[in-house]
Amino acid sequence: MPTRTATPVARRGRTAEPEPYDFRRPLTLPRDHARHLEMAFERFGRQFGNQLTARLRTLTHLTLDELSLSTYDEYVNMLPTPTAMVLCTVTHTRQTAMLQLPVAATLVWIDYLFGGDGRGDDREGRELTEIELTLVTDLLQHSLSDLEYAFAGLAPLAVTVRGVQYNPQFVQAAGVSDAVLVASFTLRVGEREDVVTLMLPADTMLATLRAAEGPVARSDDERAAAALAYADLERAVQDVPVEVAVRFAPVVIHPRDIVHLAVGDVLPLSHPSTEPLDVVVDGVVLARAAAGSHGSRLACRVVTVEENPA
């Protein structure tokens, strides 16, 4: 009988490094929420393209590329400088939404509006004049009005354009750590192609989606699968290595004292010798411990445990 030789299976190499995940600030979209939001943004993209096609009299497409949930600070840091940031007020919540696109793209629109061939103006650092700003604001107000139609089944989303800024670092449209929905689009106007992003506040939108699910939105199988996944995650978290530090109470000194530190200097600590030390994980005090030794090594004995409901 001939011998059968096993063919080695090629293993798929990793293409990306693991990314840290903060469980205190979960920034992931549930699959159902992401699907509903993507459908809404795709409806908006189709309507937006139709509006521009009718106004500019040239074929226009706005195609959704990606939908993500991030902090406002992360979103702003990914934007180019300069760029046109169209600030809008969300009528229902008075929060700020933002449409970001290259200034050169808006100048192409203006060229088409005046019967040109869409050459625009690609000069670096160019900003809109007062007349150009009026034209772009009017054009976008009509186009962004389709957000209300696109999100009608999810949440009220009427917006009003209130102005344009050009430096992302100077615009505080939301808190640094506030969660925002960021939809990235490819905008094609005639032969020109640009990347456009639309930022919406996430808290109200996601709260509306969660409320719409209701307590009976999941089947018994889905609830069982979710409970199993939660149990698996809890078991996995127990095996994640973390760095534990034991520290004295911090002391406040002036920068001039730090700059002139030299070998032999004595830095007095404010920690009383009779008080236990802090046991810290990722900046959070979990317990207090008394200093001691274990054989030939330093050690500490936990004397109290801190209650951290968060």
pLDDT in tens, 20-76: 665 555 567 778 888 889 999 999 999 999 999 999 989 999 999 999 998 899 999
**Are 197 and 84 in a shared domain?**
yes
The region of weakest confidence among 36-50, 88-102, 211-225, 277-291 is 211-225
In a shared domain, residues 114 and 175: yes
186/248 same-domain check: no
Asked if residue 280 and residue 138 are part of one domain, the reply reads no
Give the tens place of pLDDT for each residue, 250-285. 888 888 888 888 898 888 887 887 888 888 888 788
226 pLDDT above the threshold of 70: yes
pTM to 2 decimal places: 0.62
Residues 194 and 277 in one domain: no
Instruction: Locate 131 and state its tokens.
Output: 């007349």
| Residue 9 binned pLDDT confidence (cut-offs 50, 70, 90) | very low
* Element containing residue 64 per DSSP (H, E): strand 60-71
Q: How many CB atoms lie within 10 A of CB 197?
A: 20
- The count of domains in the chain is 2
Q: Are 138 and 86 in contact (CB under 8 A)?
A: no
% of the chain residues with pLDDT over 90: 29
Instruction: Out of 3-7, 85-89, 267-271, give the one with best mean pLDDT.
Output: 85-89
**One domain for residues 129 and 58:** yes
Helices and strands, counts by H and E, the chain = 8, 10
Residue 212's pLDDT is: 66
- Residue 24 confidence (pLDDT): 54
Question: How would you classify the pairing of strands 96-101 and 192-201?
Answer: antiparallel
Which H or E run includes 139? helix 130-144
How many angstroms separate the CA atoms of 266 and 257, rounded?
Answer: 11
Query: What is the sign of the dihedral through the CA atoms of 14, 19, 21 and 26?
Result: negative
Q: Which tokens hold the place of 74?
A: 């992360």
Identify whether 17 is part of a domain. no
d(CA 99, CA 101): 7
Q: What torsion do the CA atoms of 85, 90, 95, 97 make, to the nearest 10 degrees?
A: -20
Q: How many CB atoms lie within 10 A of CB 42?
A: 17
Instruction: Provide the H-helix boundaries in 145-286.
Output: 146-150, 202-213, 220-238, 255-259
pLDDT band at 107 (very low <50, low <70, confident <90, very high): very high
Q: Clarify whether residues 205 and 249 are in a common domain.
A: no
Residues spanned by the domain of 274? 244-257+269-305
pLDDT-derived band at 216, boundaries 50, 70, 90: very low
